Chains A and B, each alone.
Chain A
Amino acid sequence: MTTTRPLLGSPMTRLEGREKVTGTARYAVDYPVDRVAYAWPVPAAVARGEITAVDATAALADPAVLAVLSYENAPRLHDTDDRTLAVLQSPHIAHRGQFAALAVATSLEAARGAAAAIRVAYAPEPHDVILTRDHPGLYKPDEVDEGMPTDREHGDFDTVYARAQVRLDAVYETPPLHNHPLEPHAATAMWDGDDLTVYDSNQGATAVQHVLAELFGLATGKIHVINEHVGGGFGSKGTARPHVVLAAMAARVVRRPVKLALPRNQLAAVTGHRSPTIQRIRIGADTEGHVQALAHEVTTQISALDGFVEPAAVVSRVMYAAPNSRTTHRVTRLDVPTPSWMRAPGECPGMFALESAMDELAIACGVDPIELRVRNEPTVEPDSGLPFSSRHLVECLREGTRRFGWHDRDPRIAGKHEGRLLIGSGVAASTYPVYVMASHAEAHAGPDGSYEVHVSASDIGTGARTVLTQIAADALGVPLDRVRVRVGSSDLPPASVAGASSGTASWGWPVHKACTELRQRLEALGHSVPEQGLTVAADIAEDLDDREDYARHAFGAQFAEVQVDTVTGETRVRRLLGVFAAGRILNPRTARSQFIGGMTMGLGMALLEGSTMDPAFGDYAERDLASYHVPACADVPEIDVHWIEEEDPQLNPMGSKGIGEIGIVGTAAAIANAVHHATGVRIRALPIHPAVLMPPLAGARQASPS
């Protein structure tokens, strides 16, 4: 049994691509279901307060309306850690847009009509929704991102910074950002006795299964979560979301299957987002640019229902050698929608700040920004003192230098004109940790020579199904077409979420392990498969425990060339180049798409994206894709992506690092640095809108002697 070329590393096309482009792939509310009812939520119309009355009379007058649920009559749920899931359990409203009621009807139109006819009365309370650097509610959280220390201190930052020859002290800000996957959060829920089946758009069927079991007080085996195809998530579907709880609750009450797809204009309030951050960075260095002291202090917010604390300073514990350092996170609780994960939480906003600051330091020291980073390359991970399993940041910078033509760059600021356009280029580093989470898989050999591999993985559009098939076929030593990988159901062996760029490692490892063992057992049997087939199950929990201590991260370098119109203030990106070192690239086709997608999202973050908190009403002003601008094709130049062959035996049997998120890390800084190079204007608060760039640009032009 031979294959003509190695399966790992081959550019296999996406297995479900045809289904997706022909529209036959089924998403959460696409499944035909008999006697289905439809649910439409009613968002709270105050930013904080109590519901005093729910009048459903008019809504229930329509015979098509099956039920109106509110805290008054909704089934009681058990508690979970995630308070955003305690839907319709209390009259208290924690933020505008939180669900106040739910209409269920025999048609989508009737449900929507009923939702509009429900009268909810509130006793509003004063609200506080705006984050400031000196917000009185700021406090030190116990930890950030489930187990990372809130603060770290090495050496004596204050003294060394005060004595440094070169000092930089700057504040960077990132706005609230929304994930807005193309498929909204949606679910179809149906009960069969005490068995609940949900087709749900999520990033982890097993995780959602466990949460639903908790909420409804059932054994996990009673809950079946199917997420065969998912139309994007970017973190916002990484945990169970309120819509799936509402759908399951409604289905139980009306004793019929229920479909609930959140309308786009409700997503911003209830499906998570990236919190705004205010980041102060101070760097003390010698005149050669060697960083001696580094402080990265983050101020951010959570909601009254808790939520994710954006761990933006963590990157400063990884990136550069700084013998004296301080990294801190302070957070305040506001009456806002609950923040959650968005692509590269922590790293993405954190690296905008750190990599902008490094650019400022390079200019202050008169050192090339690439050389500056090379000079501050650490020998071990600065915070932990652990050796890196592999770190090829310098190689990425060097390779990018060559490919981008960086050596031809004139370092002078605002030195390159083309008519009214100013041209500039910038660089920034990328980084993302290598995570792997305990997961299970099963491999089954059929008597006909076919193989089936089961793992409760989630393919959210990344190509996971395809790459897992490559891993399985490679481990089995058989051609791809002999292997069928089943993912997307909690009835399959339990597996971790498609998050933290960990899917390929976390699922691929047990797949590899099960397939390797199956191959060995078949070889021992002389390749004769028993009539009932042969199944091998694998669990990697012990393998994870046995791993040696290393700092495991992927690295990269991003280069941007921009043009800034001096008359209108418009910034356009002309070129983007990313060079990454992320272990072994298992599928160059899907990997390239991941990198390009991440960098495109980073371009959006730099120039376009941002949600505006309305201080009077307490909700986000942008609630559709006409006002929340993601880049259109016309905004995106050709994006050039390369990677460095990286051998790292300390990762997993495939030798891979996660690549789902690193592409967005650093892009915004590279673009902001390029804008500075082009114009001399440093924008420290994203996005770089024309209206933001224009006044300083006009000022700089007037001030310039020419």
Chain B
Amino acid sequence: MDFLRPASWEEALAAKAEHPTAVPIAGGTDVMVEINFDHRRPDVLLDLNRIGELQEWEVGEETVRLGASVPYTRIIERLRGELPGLALAGHTVGSPQIRNRGSVGGNLGAASPAGDSHPALLAAGAEVEAVSVRGTRMIPVEEFYTGVKRNCLEADELIRAVHIKKADGPQQFSKVGTRNAMVIAVCAFGLALHPETRTVKTGIGSAAPTPIRARAAEEFLNAALEEAGLWDNGRIIPPSVARQFAELVSGAANPIDDVRGSAAYRRHALGVMARRTLGWTWDEYRGNERSARCA
């Protein structure tokens, strides 16, 4: 196994072009486990830890450009305001040690349906900045995942950053695991309110071959909120609407039975999480509306 340690981003791209089978490694929280378990045996490892810019982020007008290797700990500590959903998801990742090493770039590279950051990215809206010596392309995160542990990166591409929409409203993340920490999700759900566009977006984790949005649920809720003028009048969401939304979220999933949980329980739990996160975010939105009016 060759171990390459490029000193700059350009060197890294050149190395990836020269060694298309090279597996990039940053925190190592996924790759090292896979190597340890002999699930994969890359002929080349491409260590990105010397590339400082991957550890950096920029807060722009509309998005946060998050370097691929920014660890969860940093997101939780520094980007809670801009990326509340992702920060909440980051809290549920592994243990403090894992959160010090693991990153969103790594989660995307691994593309496991159980990756904790995916539902938050889907709900917030995000694009993956994929770069090769040939150039840069921006991939909407919905199109990024192509199968179980598969993504649409070309062999010569590396993830440089993720551009995540700054929160324009409340966001929530919820995860079910069979213990309280250090747990792979049985299923997870992210929800973001976007008052500026008067839309709600969702993300489902660990309940389908890839992370997905519950689009039918979103469309139903968008229409229901609009119809009742709820974005303006700030009334509570009728229980029947919340229930229907939850059912549609359950229905969007395509879960399996495995040792972590049954398909039936995953569907049930997704409905619960959908209803809860909707309640939490809507309460927060209404609270904000009220305080805004008072001001």
Contacts and interface: CB of A to CB of B under 8 A. Distances in A.
A binds B: yes
Interface of A: 116, 263, 265, 567-570, 572, 607-608, 612, 621-622, 624, 626-627, 629, 631-635, 689-691, 694-695
Contacts of A629: 178-179, 183
A632 B37 contact: no
Interface stretch (B125-133, B228-236, B264-272): B264-272
Interface of B: 36-38, 41, 176, 178-184, 259-262, 264-265, 268-269, 272
A622 to B, nearest CB: 6
A689 B266 CA distance: 13
Contacts of B176: 568, 570, 690
B86 to A, nearest CB: 21
Given A632-B179, A633-B181, A691-B261, A567 B37 contact: no
Contact of B182 (A607, A632, A694): A632
A263 B37 CA distance: 9
A580 B38 CA distance: 46
A111 to B, nearest CB: 13
A615 to B, nearest CB: 13
Contacts of A635: 179-181
A472 to B, nearest CB: 40
B180 A634 contact: yes
- Interface SS of chain B: loop
- Interface SS of chain A: loop
Give the residue among A116, A622, A626, A691 with the most B Cβ atoms within 10 A.
A691
A660 to B, nearest CB: 24
A607 B179 CA distance: 9
A689 B182 contact: no
A689 B178 contact: yes
Contact of B272 (A265, A567, A632, A634): A567
Given A624-B37, A631-B179, 14 more contacts: A263-B36, A569-B265, A607-B179, A608-B179, A621-B259, A627-B260, A629-B179, A632-B181, A632-B183, A633-B181, A635-B180, A690-B178, A690-B261, A690-B269
A685 to B, nearest CB: 14
Contact of A265 (B37, B183, B265): B37
A602 to B, nearest CB: 15
Given A621-B259, A627-B259, A690-B265, A608 B37 contact: no
Nearest to B273: A568
B45 to A, nearest CB: 14
A5 B103 CA distance: 55
13 contacts: A263-B36, A265-B37, A568-B176, A568-B269, A626-B182, A627-B260, A629-B183, A631-B179, A689-B261, A690-B176, A690-B261, A690-B269, A691-B264
A263 B265 CA distance: 33
A695 B269 CA distance: 12
**9 closest residue pairs by CB, A with B:** A634-B180, A691-B265, A632-B181, A634-B181, A635-B180, A691-B262, A621-B259, A635-B179, A629-B179
B37 A694 contact: no
Nearest to A624: B37
A358 B138 CA distance: 64
Contacts of A116: 38, 41
B179 A626 contact: no
A632 to B, nearest CB: 4
A334 to B, nearest CB: 20
Contact of B259 (A567, A607, A612): A612
Nearest to A623: B37
Given A568-B272, A627-B259, A691-B261, A608 B178 contact: yes
A702 to B, nearest CB: 14
Contact of B268 (A572, A634, A694): A694
B246 to A, nearest CB: 11
A621 B260 CA distance: 10
A482 to B, nearest CB: 42
Contacts of A570: 176
Give the residue among A607, A608, A612, A690 with the most B Cβ atoms within 10 A.
A690
A694 B179 CA distance: 16
Nearest to B184: A626
A626 B39 CA distance: 15
A632 B180 contact: yes
Contacts of A608: 178-179
Contacts of A632: 179-183
Contacts of B262: 691
B47 to A, nearest CB: 18
A116 B183 CA distance: 29
Contact of A634 (B38, B179, B264): B179
Contacts of A624: 37
Give the residue among B182, B261, B264 with the most A Cβ atoms within 10 A.
B182
Contacts of A569: 265
A59 to B, nearest CB: 15
Contacts of B37: 265, 624
Contacts of B41: 116
Nearest to A631: B179
A695 B264 CA distance: 9
B183 to A, nearest CB: 7
B187 to A, nearest CB: 11
Give the residue among B37, B178, B272 with the most A Cβ atoms within 10 A.
B178
B176 to A, nearest CB: 7
Contacts of A691: 261-262, 264-265
A634 B179 CA distance: 8
B7 to A, nearest CB: 26
A62 to B, nearest CB: 14
B260 to A, nearest CB: 8
Contacts of B180: 572, 632, 634-635
Contacts of B36: 263
A566 B283 CA distance: 22
A621 B262 CA distance: 15
Contacts of B38: 116
Contacts of A607: 178-179
Nearest to A622: B259
Contacts of A627: 184, 259-260
Nearest to A698: B268
A608 B269 CA distance: 18
B243 to A, nearest CB: 13
A29 B4 CA distance: 31
